[in-house]
Amino acid sequence: MGKVGAALALAASLAGSGCVQSRQYADVQFTPPQGDYRLLVMRPDVAVNALETGGMPQPRADWTEQARSNIIEALRADQAGRGGKVLVLAKRNELPNVSADEIADLERLHYAVGNSIALHKYSGAALPTKRGKGLEYTLGEDAVSLGRRTGYDYALFLYAEDNIASSGRTALQVLGVAGCFIGFCAPSGGSNQFAYASLVDLRTGEVVWFNILQTGSQLPGVTFGDIRTQQGASQMVERLLGRMKAGREVREAQSAEKR
């Protein structure tokens, strides 16, 4: 199964009743970075597709590049107000002593791990050995090596897919909704978005925080943050990163101090 097909399958398995859904997981002892930390924001992994009349996504390279550029700008704006030393990668060859191929390999590794987290932590297909626990996922020595050579403490990864309903798909939705008024209701899925972000501790290689976002609508012409626009990209980044929560043990300790 290709990257687009895998993401769509995950999005379908995560579908629920809400139009906008997000949920965070974190290592039980995780504290959001603060103070004099060093954060490397990896080049966003982005795909924007045209959702054709029959429901099949058709990749659009022009839409994808525009969306990636918008997300990079949104990430820079988001991180500018958080403190720390932050570098947002727009290309894979921007790090001294680290090749573009090494960055690409780490991105592919994260894609596999991120999809595993999305599947097993969010879709109900929990692994028996991880049920009821924190994250317990890692990018291993490749991530540790990156941190050692660059001096960064954390790496932030982001994956985003936007499926934009074509005019034919929107027309089919209109017919489906109209059918509801005459007793035959068969609305078809419209534009939808699937994204996740993860924070990796480059000192250990562990994924210490993860958040997922899914939006969608059965109503024709309704979208929730088109990342081909700067406003939509900023909205998506805010939904994913705006309220990073601490891990369970940290939150419990903070609550105990307030009593």
Q: Which tens digit of pLDDT belongs to each residue from 17-68?
A: 446 788 899 998 999 998 899 999 999 999 999 887 666 788 999 999 999 9
| pLDDT, position 3 | 59
Give me the pLDDT at residue 11, please: 53
Q: What is the Cβ-side half-sphere exposure of residue 170, based on CA atoms within 13 angstroms? A: 11
Residue-level pLDDT at 2: 53
Write phi, then psi, for 221 (nearest 5 degrees). Answer: 80, 0
pLDDT of residue 251: 84
Strand runs labelled E in the chain: 20-26, 38-41, 45-51, 57-59, 85-88, 137-138, 154-165, 192-201, 206-216
Q: What percent of the chain has pLDDT over 90?
A: 52
Which two tokens mark 30?
Answer: 């995780």
* Residue stretches of the chain with pLDDT short of 70: 1-19, 53-55, 124-134, 166-191, 217-225, 259
pTM, whole model, 2 decimals? 0.81
**How far is it, in rounded angstroms, from Cα 259 to Cα 254?**
9
Map tokens 């012409």 to a residue: 221
